[in-house]
Amino acid sequence: MAKLATVLSSPMPPRSRPIATEPHLRIHVVAEREEAERALASQIAALVVERAARGEHAILGLATGGTPVGVYAELVRLHRAGELDFARVETFNLDEYEGLAADHPASFRRFMHETLFARVNLPAGAIHFPPADLEPRALERACSAYEEAIRAAGGIDLQLLGLGRNGHLAFNEPGSARESRTRRVELHPATREDVAPIFAAHRSAPTHAVTMGLATILEARALRVLAFGASKAAIVRRALREPIGPELPASYLRTHPDVEVWLDRAAAAETGQ
């Protein structure tokens, strides 16, 4: 079976600029974020097509928020152009706020439904989210079941990721253990501050969420990270340069054997490149 890096290979966008670093950590700076979004959508499409040709499913780990929306828009465009079939795709989302119903305007489930799922032919039974509204004992069991569902699917082929301003991956806040799995977490004050505008019309920002753990994320066969805008420049520099450890969860990206980081020029401003 071909290595995933080979399966996902695609031409570099003409204006992208790779930064030389560790062989397994490929960092690309692009003039416009749309170049990165098209490149990653192309990689995902190639993976889906290759798996389907073998009668297999592509297992995708998906992120929410403003960072990946362009990737999802390009995947929808490819689908509507008849170039991408989601019938053999299975998805696992990174996280969800605690206590939100699926149709809550600020829930990640609603975000994904409106941004991607309702716009392609992804089977409803192939969509998975961490449990978000259960009492403690049931929640613990459901988190274990989420991990088991990922294993039963054969593991995640490609995981999309953004970078939190304080270095969190998914909702693995500073202090999260490298060995962590899907679980309930308390949101860092900086994270609550960042998401507060989303909840302004509804109620105060949630204090807790349920997130895929660092160990689960790092077990994905490929990690693809996006960061755009000047507000991400400091955390990009820290993630790439500071010591690897739990106080900076994003630093663990550097331990993965197949990771690409896609940046626009503003996000790359403090890398020295």
Determine which one of 168, 188, 260, 264 is catalytic. 168
Determine which one of 35, 90, 98, 166 is catalytic. 166
247 carries an active-site annotation: no
Question: Which phi and psi (to 5°) does residue 158 adopt?
Answer: -140, 130
Structure tokens at 235: 């955390």
168 carries an active-site annotation: yes
Q: How far is CA 111 from CA 85, 182, 242, in A?
A: 21, 20, 33
Determine which one of 74, 98, 173, 264 is catalytic. 173
Exposure string for 153-181, b = 16+ CB within 10 A, e = fewer: beebbbbbbbbbebbbbbbbbbebeeebb
Q: Give the E-state strand segments of the chain in sequence order.
A: 17-19, 25-30, 58-62, 89-93, 95-97, 127-128, 158-161, 183-186, 208-211, 222-227, 259-264
Q: Is 249 left (phi over 0), alpha (psi -120 to 50) or beta?
A: alpha
Q: Would you tell me how many other CB atoms lie within 10 Å of the CB of residue 67?
A: 20
Determine which one of 35, 74, 90, 95 is catalytic. 95
Catalytic residues: 95, 166, 168, 173
